[in-house]
């Protein structure tokens, strides 16, 4: 049996103590490898080009370039790298800005390490991962625009939404449902519109919160 390569992680935080603690704690997980540390947003963008990590653990509050700007820069230059925010703040503005910048998830720094490891694994697989507080913040942010569960989405759109929550790309959804990528893209756009969300991550969070998918 061929063992899979460990998930390559880059941590980004301007506090050396937090970076050091994270580095030590991640040693407990054989399938996760910390390949680099960045003290700032610009350094994080540069190291992404050099190290090509699978997942970036991104702090939100940093001088010079904050986590939102760094996330957006990384996703623009290296779209295959997943950015997972690790923050002390769970207000809806912070969560929404991070998600809109391209972060695949939002976790809090006080969470247990095994939960963080699970989050890193999920992000690496392309799946949305949100702390309960972050999910609640997203729902509050889009709540007034949200439909009643199942009222507006067609059966096909609910099927696509379920696969979207599972982290599948448009092409993967097209293959699974034997549809053209163009058709899937149109359905995803309509799903976002009906849910009143602007990103796939927001749609996934709202769908789980409203019980639209299992």
Q: For position 167, what pLDDT does the model report? A: 81
**Which helix (H) or strand (E) segment is 119 a member of?**
helix 113-124
Q: For position 142, what pLDDT does the model report? A: 56
Q: What is the average pLDDT score of the chain?
A: 86
Residue of 47, 28, 31 whose CA lies nearest to 39: 47
Is residue 101 predicted with pLDDT exceeding 60? yes
Domain 146-210 has CATH 3.90.850.10: no
Domain 7-140 has CATH 3.90.1150.10: no
When pLDDT is averaged across residues 98-109 and rounded to a whole number, the result is: 89
The angle formed by the CA atoms of residues 29, 67 and 92, to the nearest 5 degrees, is 95
Q: For position 110, what pLDDT does the model report? A: 87
Say which residue, 202 or 147, is predicted with more confidence.
202
**Segments making up each domain of the chain, as ranges:** 7-140, 146-210
Say which residue, 211 or 167, is predicted with more confidence.
167
Structure-derived torsion over alpha carbons of residues 136, 140, 143, 148, reported in degrees to the nearest 10:
30
Q: For position 147, what pLDDT does the model report? A: 47
Residue that is written with structure tokens 């407990």 in the block: 28
- DSSP secondary structure code for residue 143 in this structure: G
| Local confidence band at 54 (pLDDT 50, 70, 90 cut-offs) | very high
Is residue 96 predicted with pLDDT exceeding 60? yes
CA distances from 209 to 44, 116, 124, 149, 174 (A): 32, 21, 22, 10, 25
pLDDT tens digits, one per residue of 1-37: 345 789 999 999 999 888 888 889 898 999 999 999 9
pLDDT tens digits, one per residue of 143-183: 544 445 445 788 888 889 989 888 888 899 999 999 998 99
Q: For position 143, what pLDDT does the model report? A: 52
Is residue 69 predicted with pLDDT exceeding 90? yes
Q: For position 123, what pLDDT does the model report? A: 92
Do residues 83 and 128 make contact, with C-beta atoms less than 8 angstroms apart? Answer: no
């Amino acid at each position: 049996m061929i063992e899979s390569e460990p998930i390559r992680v880059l941590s980004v935080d301007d506090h050396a103590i937090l970076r050091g603690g994270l580095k030590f704690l991640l040693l407990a997980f054989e399938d996760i490898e910390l390949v680099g540390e960045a003290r700032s947003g610009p350094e994080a963008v540069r190291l992404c080009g050099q190290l090509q990590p699978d997942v970036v653990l991104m702090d939100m509050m940093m001088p010079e370039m904050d986590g939102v700007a760094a996330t957006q820069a990384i996703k623009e230059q290296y779209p295959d790298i997943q950015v997972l925010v690790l923050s002390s703040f769970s207000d809806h503005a912070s969560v929404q800005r991070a998600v809109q910048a391209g972060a695949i998830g939002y976790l809090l720094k006080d969470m247990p390490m095994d939960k963080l490891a699970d989050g890193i694994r999920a992000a690496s697989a392309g799946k949305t991962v949100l702390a309960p507080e972050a999910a609640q913040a997203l729902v509050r942010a889009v709540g007034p625009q949200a439909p009643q569960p199942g009222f507006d989405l067609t059966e096909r759109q609910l099927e696509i939404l379920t696969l979207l929550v599972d982290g599948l790309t448009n092409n993967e959804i097209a293959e699974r449902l034997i549809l053209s990528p163009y058709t899937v893209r149109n359905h995803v756009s309509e799903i976002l519109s009906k849910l009143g969300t602007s990103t796939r991550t927001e749609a996934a969070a709202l769908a789980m919160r409203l019980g639209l998918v299992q």
